Structure 1
Amino acid sequence: MSETSRSDRLSRVRHASSSVVDGRDRTVLVPSDDETGGQQFSRVKTLPDDAEFGLCLTHDVDRPYKGFRSLYYATQERPRYHLRTALSSSNPYWQFGELMALEDELGVRSAFYFLNEQHLLADRPVSEWVSPSNWVQHLGRYDITSDEISAVIRALDAGGWEVGLHGSYHSPTDRDRLREEKHALEEILEGSVTGGRQHHLRLSVPDTWHHHREIGLDYDTSLGSSTECGFHGGYRPLRPFDDEFIVFPLTIMDQALPDPGSSFEAARRICERLLTEAAENDAIMTVLWHPRYFNEQEFPGHRTLYRWLVERAQELGAWVGSPGAFCETLEDNGNQTPESRRADGTVDGTPSAASSAIVGDNS
């Protein structure tokens, strides 16, 4: 690599890893990859064997049931369609089978993060009942212990998908609540939960990561933006405590892209640019697609774009899988970090402190 190219690449890394702007235009600073940039986090140095870069696939299970939202959406657009979904026994947000079939066809596995949200009336203070935003948050609540949800969780796990924790809205600074949510999910799985993401990307840096590590999680994927796509957190996962705990910065959230239903090529071009940037910089790229977005009736283009993204990453020589599977590749190689030694792993990934303010929203 020429000195000019090396300088250009370093400049891009320094710029990319300076900060993350969340959904409410608040900024969380991320230490630079540049050795002269002051306070730093160490980073993961390895990639799965022979991979040009990594693509971690994740899905936040926020709202598996459409429910009362049908009535709200009917006041906004397509009233006949949304009223039919309100009266029908079918559930357009239940996309688990379709998503599993798609990923199985592509030869990949992803992570599904399940939300165990508190009940507004039963669990939260009376003072919060008067806030309309709190009602919006809690109307989507579902019971992970219900027969239907529990069956899906077990089916995902049995099929090789990762099941992880989607920390509830008020949990970023509540270690006991996070521990309870993790324990409840593990009881359903009859196994361990190793990572996840906070709901709405709400994160207290580094406090939430301390909580995650103390309750036994190996990684977190909450550092990111719901409004901007890019490598704002740098090209490689962070090790905020210089140990095995890993933070995967979020590169793409579905809702931060142009609407694929009306601007498919614009959305595809952004994905192509970021995939190319990942390949050029040996990056680990993490993406989030909410399961409900795979309903082509309500979110046209998202399923097609997701398929294209995975297939294009495979064409470019990426390792593709879940964050948990990526962590396993590091463990298989003794968690070694020198650039010259690369972790073992399958190509398809099939499983075998800057601020103390709450940051992130709008996922």
Structure 2
Amino acid sequence: MLPADAPFALCLTHDVDRPYKTYQSLAFALSERSPSHLRALLPGANPYWQFESIAELEADLGVRSAFYVLNEPSLFATRPPGEWASVENLVEHAGRYDVTDDELVGVLRTLDEGGWEIGVHGSFHTDSDPDRLAVEKATLESLLGHEVAGCRQHHLKLGPSTWRVQRDLGFRYDASLGSRSSVGFLHGYDPIVPFDDEFVVFPLTGMEVAFPDPGTDFSAAAAACEALVDEAAANEAVGTVLWHPRYFNEAEFPGYRRLYRHLVEYALASDGWVGPPGELYEWLVQHERLPLGRQE
């Protein structure tokens, strides 16, 4: 049973990887031979800052979602010198942002006060670094003034002990288990309880880039969204979708904002419960509806 006797639940999430378009502008301008990308470097131009736009869209639909905030450490301060020249590390750390920046803290607090969930987007190495994950959790909680419930690891990167570390640090749930390339209930229709207690895993059912490109074929993308919802409704499932904030920038990612709205509207029209994982988690615990004994 789900809230309001809904036949299924759809959790809405956003990973805040890069709220500022920085090095990407030059990279895209060179690779695509399109200097138009350089406009993002002008003062006041910030196409990846989509917090207010997302909140307006969701408020219009009467729903809320979760934002997972990335707090990456400095590559040069935290990794050994032998890793500094790694292309993977340089790309991974380029464009990192300051989670304590006043503008960002202000918008996160506004979202938090408005009913949106704010969680931790565990940085690249925290799948095996509990001390760093603890710092990221404590920092975000100090900015918000309360504990946070949820975590999703950057790049969905899970190690053999990540869930246990998250639980021991006080997280109530993880939302990292899933695929960047496939859409569907790859890990079953229920949340997973890996330790047979109140720590829960909400598997990722669909990331925006795994759907057909709505800018090329919106009908195919919409049909894939509808099929996902229909499968959820037929199986009393709990699904989770991820839309990175930059994909709400229609100039660079045409169709994805429209597709997100279509997905949410179709889920609501199908009588599903739609909202952030943290809110669903609280309901499941309060009503003793966790699928205890069903483990991954």
TM bin (shorter chain): over 0.9
Render the CA deviation track for 1:54-95: whole Å, top value 9, x for unaligned: 000000000000012101001233613202222343100000
Residue type of the alignment partner of 1:243:
D
Q: How does 1:162-241 map to 2 (within 5 A)?
A: 162-205=117-160, 207-241=161-195
Cα displacement (A) at 1:322: 0.4
**Mapped pair 1:279 → 2:233:** yes
Residue type of the alignment partner of 1:197:
R
Higher normalized helix content (fraction of residues): 2
> What's the counterpart of residue 279 of structure 2?
325
TM-score, with length taken from structure 2: 0.96
Cα displacement (A) at 1:53: 0.2
| Partner Cα separation in structure 1 for residue 228 and residue 29 of structure 2 | 36
- Counterpart contact for 2:190–2:291, Cα < 8 Å: no
Identify which of 98, 118, 121 aligns with 2:73.
118
TM-score, with length taken from structure 1: 0.79
**Mapped pair 1:306 → 2:260:** yes
| Partner Cα separation in structure 1 for residue 275 and residue 290 of structure 2 | 20
Q: How does 1:335-350 map to 2 (within 5 A)?
A: 335-337=288-290
Task: Kindly tell me the number of residue pairs found equivalent between the two proteins.
Answer: 294
Residue type of the alignment partner of 2:155:
H
- Counterpart contact for 2:198–2:285, Cα < 8 Å: no
- Counterpart contact for 1:118–1:124, Cα < 8 Å: no
Q: How does 1:236-315 map to 2 (within 5 A)?
A: 236-315=190-269
Paired-residue identity, %: 56
> What's the counterpart of residue 15 of structure 1?
none
- Counterpart contact for 1:62–1:140, Cα < 8 Å: no
Compared CA separation, residues 133 and 195, structure 1 to 2 (3 A): same
Cα displacement (A) at 1:149: 1.2
Instruction: Give the secondary-structure state (helix, strand or coil) at the position aligned to 2:120.
Output: strand
Compared CA separation, residues 338 and 147, structure 1 to 2 (3 A): closer
| Partner Cα separation in structure 2 for residue 337 and residue 152 of structure 1 | 32
> What's the counterpart of residue 35 of structure 2?
80
Residue type of the alignment partner of 1:170:
H
- Counterpart contact for 2:13–2:241, Cα < 8 Å: yes
Q: Give 4+ residue runs of structure 1 displaced > 2 Å after superposition.
A: 86-89, 335-339
CA RMSD of aligned residues (A): 1.5
Residue type of the alignment partner of 1:130:
A
- Counterpart contact for 1:68–1:86, Cα < 8 Å: no
